[in-house]
Amino acid sequence: MRAIVWDVDDVLNNLTEYWLARWRAQHPQSVPDYPSIRKNPPHELLSISFETYLESLDEIRASVSAHEKLTPNPQIMEWLNHHGHRYRHLALTARPPHTAGPAAAWVLNHFGAWIRSVAFVPTRKPPGWPDYDLTKASYLQWLNLKAILIDDSTTNVTEMKEKGLDAMLFPQPWNDCSQSVSEILEQLAHY
């Protein structure tokens, strides 16, 4: 049985859109709307430092109550209801370690019927942590699984393909995906 590896943030959920709405509520004069986010991370567009952006994003990523407000992608949920039983599913996210637990709980709460394995690659690796699996591509290469990664990051998809691994870019305003979510899911149904 083939496996589908789902990115969590901005694929299974709407983290950036949620973060932006929250930031807009606190800074209404300086924030564009979600479709205008042509670069991720969007700190330069908002004229804030990368550190300020990460602090505000991590506040959400580390919060169980904030995760309760993140909505699952309804198109993916519908696709899983119709096609999910034909594949094995994993979630793979890139996050700071202290935010991985809330993400895993969120995935299992919303997608646990299909996704029963949740992994992360650490961003901003704490001192003393080993240097293995610092990218999604290296993690999946180590796992040696016949799988396809669905991710909104052009970098992650490119790294996968450079290693000879399957990946599909998930459409978001900041990437150059020319397909709609429906088209991606239709392709995935024939993987």
pLDDT greater at residue 26 or residue 148: 148
**Predicted confidence band of residue 49 (pLDDT cuts 50, 70, 90):** very high
Q: What is the mean pLDDT of residues 116-131?
A: 92
Structure tokens at 181: 């979510």
CATH class of 3-13+71-188: alpha beta
Structure token digits, residue 107? 């995935």
**CA-based angle 52:41:143, to the nearest 5?**
115
The mean pLDDT value of the chain amounts to: 94
Would you say residue 128 has pLDDT above 70? Answer: yes
> What is the predicted pLDDT for the residue at 30?
67
Of the chain, the percentage scoring pLDDT greater than 90 comes to 84
What pLDDT, in 10s, does the model give residues 55-74?
999 999 999 889 889 999 99
**Which part of the chain has CATH 3.40.50.1000?**
3-13+71-188
Q: Quick one: average pLDDT of 115-126?
A: 94
